[in-house]
Structure 1
């Protein structure tokens, strides 16, 4: 099966989250859309051949391990010790997505940029 395009409403939600982060740029990916800070990928959203939508991101190793144990809607990227993802659908908690993607940005961004971002759990 062909991979579906990411729905415009889903892309718009992600653009609001990631577009607010300093120097975080959107670009077309091999499939779907990704956001980068410098050359580091912060998030990648795409439709799978199973017709489900996913966003991948970076997380601290302990958090990645927790995602692996939680199961749906979370998953761990097998090729990376610091990569995780989440299925996106009509039940997605977009506040949680914003927190996860903000954390991913802060992991990937240079300190001078990460220090500009207010994180929900900072302090």
Structure 2
């Protein structure tokens, strides 16, 4: 497993969800894995361990180990209190980015909904038709 990579079971589930979307593809990120539509990142999964990466550890409020995935939300929802309570966290680097911790209690239906919406926010309009 490369640095920042989440456990295989979570990665497999995320792959199934993300790669089912039209023209979506996967690539290695600076840490972990990200899913793209065109040149735009709609999901990024990584493992926080020993406080690394520090920006994610601060945002998630945990030095780890903790598997997380970030995704896009509509700008109007970015500051919602919903996304400021566990299992969610609100990174500060973009106003439309939200994260969720992945664990044994993860609601995979909710994750699927978030990833699909994130994809739809970034996908070319012609592809969505």
Shorter-chain TM-score: what band? 0.7 to 0.9
Distance in 1, Cα, partners of 2:97 & 2:32: 17
In structure 2, the CA distance between the partners of 1:16 and 1:30, relative to structure 1 (3 Å rule), is same
- Out of 80, 84, 89, which is 2:94 matched to? 80
Per the alignment, residue 120 of structure 1 pairs with none
SS in 2 for 1:9: helix
List runs of 5+ in structure 1 lacking aligned partners.
Answer: 116-123
Paired residues, number: 113
Per the alignment, residue 76 of structure 2 pairs with 62
Q: Deviations over 1:67-91 (max 9, x none)?
A: 5664111111201111111011000
Per the alignment, residue 110 of structure 1 pairs with 124
Shift in Å, 1:51: 0.9
Per the alignment, residue 19 of structure 1 pairs with 19
Asked if 1:98 is matched to 2:112, the reply is: yes
TM-score by length of 2: 0.81
